[in-house]
Amino acid sequence: NLRELWNIVFIEHNRLPGGEIVPLQHQHVDTGLGFERLVAFLQGKTSNYDTDLFFPIFNGIQLASKAPAYSGQFNDANSLDTAYRILADHARMATVCLADGMVPEENHKLRRIIRRAITVSHDVFKKQQLLGETCNFVAESLGEVYPEIVDNLNHIKSIINYEEELLKKLRMTSGKQWEKMVAERPILAKISDPCASGLVQGYKEFQRSIKNLVTRKIPGELSFRLYDTFGLEPDVIEELAEIENLVFDREAFEEYLKKAKLRSRIGLNQSTTETFSEGAMKQLDETEKTDDSLKYSYKSDEGIYKFPEIDAEVLRIFVNKDTIENSTLEINKSLENREISLVLNRTPFYTTEGGQLFDKGTIIISPENIRLNVENVKKIGDHVVHLGKLDFSNFNEKLMNAKLTPGDRVRLVLDTDRRLAIMRHHTATHLLNAALRTVFPAVAQKASLVKEDDLSFQFTCYGKGISQRDIDSIDELINDCIAARLPVMTRITDQFGLTQEKKLVLIPGTLYPDQGLRIVEIEEKKLRSKELCCGTHVINTGDLVAFRVKSVVEKGASSRIINAVAGPAAKSLNKFAFDGSSKDITEAKDKKSSEAWRNMLQDFVMSEAKHAVEKGANNEFVVFLLVSRAIEVESLPLQFIRDVCTDKPIFVVVQGKRKVRTRCFVPK
């Protein structure tokens, strides 16, 4: 009759990936007294599932499925009670996760839980969409204490029902392929998630790769490739390893994953640190950090924006991303085609982050009034690096002895037209996100790209396609918000304050810092936007002038990309219209939209390639690397880059979300 109420665990140390055990900064005690266990104790029950947390859900499942009632047995021959417990437990978890903004696409463990519950619904309860119905009973049980569940119930059910339809299609396609493979090799039936994304192709690649192994350990590079290229989760990789009597080296995999995350945390996942020399990186490590809070320092007077010119101190100077002798830059004609990088103690320039592209402008070197045209701004750790070329258009002999040394003062001047255009498009991106959430029952943001000329917004739309009426509604909602001239409010919070916020939109899969979180909020009668964002925005929605959708591109079963324009240019654009007679983009053959998206990507890649060629003007060859989750490399031809570099070899590497494409062009 003895029942465990809790067991005490003293949390004092952390085991690092290499096995080293180090003390935690803060020690604490974990009692293990979970909510469900406490309720069971208070209600005098021997099982968590016999409490009023679960019985209302069991009753709902029974009513919806017409199955025999839950009897509380743990050894039932037909596993019915076990199925009740799995479905109720998984429904609670999935409902809460989806209410908190998680999406299955970004969390494979959540997707696995949902699929297991769907499988139980079909195989045991013989009921379609039972998991979605069970979410209603979870909302009745938990909704009073967690109102976000009730507020987002339609959103939750739309995603659940979409996942159910997706699982059906997978079972008809890759599921059947896997069944054939299991029939040929029955041991494969041990895989816990036979419908895992990329399992068939991933297993084939796994089989090819292990033929040449000289050890029983799976190399971290192979594990990471299965994860990154084919989408296999570590647990699935470990199951495949066990089937082949191999060992999954989780530490090696985590090391590869850690390096990939470090590479992908900057802006649009464009790599920056590997292009700087080892000596430059060492100097950066020894340099005080850059204060870039001045990027938010600007004012508006009746729609006219004023960005202050800022004085700053030079901390480090690099030429072609390498150190220079005595850290002093001697300014002469030999630097005409070289890239100069300046690290300053403070800056108003924005680096590529949160989908928003970097600022451009000028750094004036006093007293000679020499100008450095800033063409790119990158963030490496806590340092902002301004990259550009010296302007020699007014260079004369008087400037031949000019020098720039750490400690010197310079003046920074933004390209205000570019910054204002980008700010307009960033605020418009937030309004577009809000409009999509108003028009559709369930939407999840995947990526965004905010540029000077336009914006692109990629999202998943669950349970509904996009019609012409939807696009017209989005245009109307946003332009009404612009006409209302609403303030764009910004405030700072931390992780604790975040828990107190209501209806705050987060990007699924994004890790946010503990401090200095910026909330950007716009509120109108029909449209409400409230997001975490580190970007820069206009002060009033009226400053957007106008908004217009340019194109809508279908990317797979549920993913869409909207390209749009804000500002004076939007006033002259006609309303976007789908081609064809179909009401839904998923049925229409929208060739113009696809072409518009490809052209936009091509222009973006062309611009980056030209920049790489200019930087490598003094080199014998050019290496152009572009990493961006916003690019679908399969649909992007790279032949056009040949026209950018006609006098020397160029090696091109473009990495999208899942694939890498390379080309090498050599002049005749």
Statement: residue 258 has pLDDT above 80: no
Average pLDDT over residues 206-234: 87
Average pLDDT over residues 568-590: 59
Give 335-352 pLDDT, tens digit per residue: 888 999 999 999 999 999
Contact between 598 and 635 (Cβ < 8 Å): yes
Percent of the chain's residues with pLDDT above 90: 49
pLDDT of residue 39: 94
Bigger pLDDT: 157 or 599?
157
Statement: residue 264 has pLDDT above 50: no
pLDDT of residue 633: 67
Sign of the Cα torsion 549, 553, 555, 559 reads: positive
Average pLDDT over residues 141-166: 92
Contact between 433 and 445 (Cβ < 8 Å): yes
pLDDT of residue 265: 39
CA 297 – CA 87 distance, rounded (Å): 52
Q: Distance from CA of residue 151 to its chain's centroid?
A: 25
Side-chain-side CA neighbours of 292 within 13 Å: the count stands at: 24
pLDDT of residue 48: 92
Residue partners of 306: CB distance under 8 A and separation at least 6: 298, 299, 300
Superfamily name with CATH number, domain 420-583 = Threonyl-trna Synthetase; Chain A, domain 2 (3.30.980.10)
How does residue 215 score in pLDDT terms, banded at 50, 70 and 90?
confident
Residue type, 51: T
pLDDT of residue 411: 97
- Domain pair 290-414 / 420-583, same fold: no
Residue 59, token pair as written in the block: 């009753």
Statement: residue 212 has pLDDT above 50: yes
Q: What is the mean pLDDT of the chain?
A: 86
**Residue 199, number of CB atoms within 10 A of its CB:** 27
Cis ω on the peptide bond leading into residue 513 (within 30° of 0)?
Answer: no
Closest listed residue to residue 662, CA positions, set 620, 633, 622: 633
Residue type, 633: V
253-262, 263-272, 370-379, 398-407, range with the lowest pLDDT: 263-272
Strands 409-414 and 455-461: unpaired
Contact between 82 and 134 (Cβ < 8 Å): no
Average pLDDT over residues 499-505: 82
Closest listed residue to residue 527, CA positions, set 477, 570, 575, 565: 477
**Residue 518, number of CB atoms within 10 A of its CB:** 16
22-31, 35-44, 392-401, 583-592, range with the lowest pLDDT: 583-592
Sign of the Cα torsion 276, 280, 286, 292 reads: negative
Contact between 189 and 208 (Cβ < 8 Å): no
Statement: residue 271 has pLDDT above 50: no
CA 54 – CA 48 distance, rounded (Å): 8
Bigger pLDDT: 637 or 48?
48
Average pLDDT over residues 82-103: 94
Q: What are the structural domain ranges in the chain? A: 6-172, 175-268, 290-414, 420-583, 588-665
Give 396-452 pLDDT, tens digit per residue: 766 677 889 999 999 999 999 999 999 999 999 999 999 999 999 888 888 899 999
pLDDT of residue 487: 96
Statement: residue 571 has pLDDT above 80: yes
How does residue 69 score in pLDDT terms, banded at 50, 70 and 90?
very high
CA 95 – CA 87 distance, rounded (Å): 12
Residue by residue, DSSP assigns 393-431 as TT--GGGTT-EE-TT-EEEEEE-HHHHHHHHHHHHHHHH
pLDDT of residue 375: 95
Statement: residue 578 has pLDDT above 70: no
Statement: residue 77 has pLDDT above 50: yes
How does residue 117 score in pLDDT terms, banded at 50, 70 and 90?
very high
How does residue 513 score in pLDDT terms, banded at 50, 70 and 90?
confident
Virtual torsion, Cα 458, 463, 469, 472, nearest 10 deg: -30
State pTM to two decimals.
0.72
Virtual torsion, Cα 374, 533, 231, 274, nearest 10 deg: 30
Q: 291 has which bridge partners?
A: 346
Residue type, 188: L
Statement: residue 313 has pLDDT above 70: yes
Question: Under CATH, what is the fold of the domain 290-414?
Answer: Elongation Factor Tu (Ef-tu); domain 3 (2.40.30)
Residue 253, token pair as written in the block: 């995999």
C-alpha distances (whole Å) from 667 to each of 49, 202, 525, 659 are 72, 38, 60, 27
CA 384 – CA 297 distance, rounded (Å): 17
pLDDT of residue 192: 79
pLDDT of residue 460: 87
Statement: residue 269 has pLDDT above 50: no
Residue type, 65: S
pLDDT of residue 234: 87
Residue 217, token pair as written in the block: 């350990």
